[in-house]
Copies of this chain bind each other. A is one copy, B any other.
Amino acid sequence: MPLAPWRSPLARALHRNRSLAYARYVQLATVRSDGRPANRTIVFRGFRDQTNQLEFIADTRSSKIDQLLLHPWGEVCWYFPKTREQFRLMGKLTIVSADADAEFLKVRQNLWSSLSDASRVQFVWPEPRKPRSADAFEILPPNAAEPLPNFCLLLFDLDQVDHLELRGEPQNRYLYLKNTAADEDWSMQNVNP
Q: A: which residues have CB within 8 A of B?
A: 20, 22, 25, 27-31, 35-41, 71, 73-77, 79, 81, 86, 88, 90, 121-122, 125-133, 137, 139, 170, 173, 175, 189-193
Number of copies: 2
Contact B128 A192 (CB under 8 A): yes
Return the chain B residue nearest A38 by Cβ: B75
Which residues on the B side are within 8 Å of A128 (C-beta)?
A: 191-193
Given known A77-B41, A192-B130, A193-B125, contact A71–B29 (CB-CB < 8 A):
no
Q: Which of B81, B90, B121, B190 contacts A36 (CB 8 A)?
A: B90
4 residue pairs, one from A and one from B, having the closest CB atoms:
A29-B29, A29-B39, A27-B27, A29-B37
Which of chain B's residues have a CB closer than 8 A to the CB of A77? Answer: 27, 39-41
Given contacts A31-B31, A170-B139, contact A192 B41 (CB under 8 A): no
Name the residue in A31, A37, A76, A129 with the highest tally of chain B Cβ atoms < 10 Å from its Cβ.
A37
Query: Are B125's CB and A175's CB within 8 A?
Result: no
B40 touches A37 (CB 8 A): no
Inter-subunit contact B27/A170 (CB<8 Å): no
* Chain B residues with CB under 8 A of A74: 37
